[in-house]
């Protein structure tokens, strides 16, 4: 009977005292600093001191961001300048093309003026209708005339082809327009050729 009471445990059998020690080993120790109240908060993470490697990496990233931002600003400025230059060049080319067309029209407009002075542009005739349309085209492209009898003579705008001493005239005045002057916008294409009445001596 004594032999049966005190058998040695075999295999995986666990003695009561060993079971307690195993349970102790598997249970977390409340004293190891991992309790519920010791979890990290966002403020703890944000307020933590940064090590030297992380600080150096952040500095490199900030430097790269600054360079990229400067490159972007420079490209934006270059693109804005390119657009401005392109627009200015476009305007110049448009004005040049208009000028070429206008210069080609001047001899035809001169012929119309001469025909009008001779009474060949009677209202209602096909020739008069063509003259109206052609003058309308000239106006639409910005062509304008200047120089009219009675205006004060301006050597900057008028070309005097003859001076006629005239009693009662105090300042040089346009007596007759021989050839009309034309401007395209603010650009003078051709000065007005005029006969000038000057004071008689």
Query: Phi and psi dihedrals of 10, rounded to 5?
Result: -120, 155
pLDDT of residue 5: 52
pLDDT at position 23, please? 45
Cα separations (Å) of 136 from 1, 9, 19, 174? Answer: 138, 123, 113, 27
pLDDT at 25: 46
Residue among 201, 194, 199 at smallest CA distance from 151:
194
Q: Alpha carbon 171 to chain centroid distance? A: 50
CA separation for the pair 45, 41 (Å, rounded): 6
| pLDDT tens, per residue, the chain with 201 residues | 445 555 555 555 555 555 444 444 444 454 444 445 567 787 777 776 767 777 778 888 888 999 999 999 999 999 999 999 999 999 888 888 888 888 888 999 999 988 888 888 888 888 889 999 999 988 888 888 888 888 889 888 898 998 888 888 888 889 888 888 998 887 888 899 999 988 877
Q: What share of the chain is helix, strand, coil (3-state, %, to 5)?
A: 50, 20, 30
Strands (E), the chain: 143-146, 158-166, 173-179, 181-184, 187-190, 192-199
């Amino acid at each position: 009977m004594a032999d049966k009471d005190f058998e040695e445990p075999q295999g995986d059998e666990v003695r009561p005292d060993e079971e307690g020690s195993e349970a102790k080993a598997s249970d977390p120790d409340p004293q190891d600093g991992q309790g519920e109240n010791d979890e990290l908060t966002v403020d703890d993470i944000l307020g933590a001191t940064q090590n030297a490697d992380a600080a150096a990496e952040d500095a490199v990233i900030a430097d790269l961001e600054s360079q990229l931002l400067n490159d972007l600003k420079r490209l934006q400025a270059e693109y804005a300048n390119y657009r401005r230059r392109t627009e200015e060049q476009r305007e110049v080319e448009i004005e040049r093309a208009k000028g070429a067309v206008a210069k080609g029209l001047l001899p035809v407009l001169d012929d119309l003026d001469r025909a009008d002075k001779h009474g060949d542009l009677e209202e209602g005739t096909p020739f008069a209708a063509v003259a109206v349309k052609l003058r309308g085209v000239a106006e639409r492209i910005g062509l304008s005339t200047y120089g009219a009898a009675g205006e004060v003579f301006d050597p900057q705008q008028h070309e005097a082809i003859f001076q006629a001493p005239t009693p009662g005239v105090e300042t040089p005045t346009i007596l007759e327009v021989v050839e009309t002057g034309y401007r395209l916008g603010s650009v003078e294409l051709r000065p007005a050729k005029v006969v000038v009445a000057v004071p008689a001596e």
